[in-house]
């Protein structure tokens, strides 16, 4: 089931998913900080690797604006472990193998590739404020310069510019 995407100012639905460390991570844990939630299709693929590495490279800049980054995909925790180790990712990757959170956010959708149709993750990012409300959402993300664009949105939000 696909739900409508959130609008800026709306409360982001709470969720709990396992991270690569085996702990349960929920949206509530990030209250008091901004949160970048990026959804991606699969570990170790070229675009997903580039996106993860771009967010990795901006980790310090996100921390400067009191923001944390988490990635969510349908991949297993074991696959996340390998991805994190290979690319030295400093943030949590959460496993949504049953794609419940992807559905909650409305980004588990029918996709087409090489003439075949299948259900999958539409690459999307959600920037959430310190109280759990949506600042901005990006769907059908093009990876190039995306992490920098999200960082700029967080900076604009801090400066009071919408």
Check if 102 is active-site.
no
Whether pTM > 0.85 for this model: the answer is yes
Give the span between the Cα atoms of 16 and 13, in whole angstroms. 10
pLDDT over threshold 90, residue 1 = no
What is the rounded CA–CA span in Å between residue 138 and residue 107? 11
Query: Which is the catalytic residue, given 6, 12, 25, 48?
Result: 48
Q: Decide which of 7 and 146 is more confident.
A: 146
pLDDT of residue 75 exceeding 90, the answer is yes
* Tens digit of each residue's pLDDT (9 = 90 or more) over 45-67: 999 999 999 999 999 999 999 99
- 151, with CB counted inside 10 A (0-12, 13-18, 19+), is buried
Q: Which domains are present in the chain?
A: 34-158 (3.40.30.10)
**Could you read off the pLDDT of 86-132 as tens digits, one per residue?**
999 999 999 999 999 999 999 999 888 888 898 999 999 999 999 99
């Amino acid at each position: 089931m696909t739900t409508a995407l959130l609008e800026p100012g709306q409360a982001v639905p709470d969720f709990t998913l396992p991270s690569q460390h085996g702990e349960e991570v929920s949206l509530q844990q990030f209250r008091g900080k901004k949160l970048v939630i990026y959804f991606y299709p699969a570990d170790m693929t070229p675009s997903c690797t580039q996106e993860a590495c771009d967010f990795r490279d901006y980790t310090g800049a996100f921390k400067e604006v009191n923001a944390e980054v988490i990635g969510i995909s349908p991949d297993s925790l074991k696959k996340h472990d390998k991805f994190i180790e290979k690319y030295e990712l400093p943030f949590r990757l959460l496993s949504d193998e049953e794609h419940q959170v992807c559905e909650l956010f409305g980004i588990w959708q029918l996709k087409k590739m090489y003439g075949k149709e299948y259900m999958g993750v539409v690459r999307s990012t959600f920037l959430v404020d310190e109280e759990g409300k949506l600042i901005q959402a990006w769907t059908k993300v093009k990876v190039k310069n995306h992490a920098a664009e999200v960082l700029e949105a967080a900076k604009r939000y801090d400066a009071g510019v919408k």
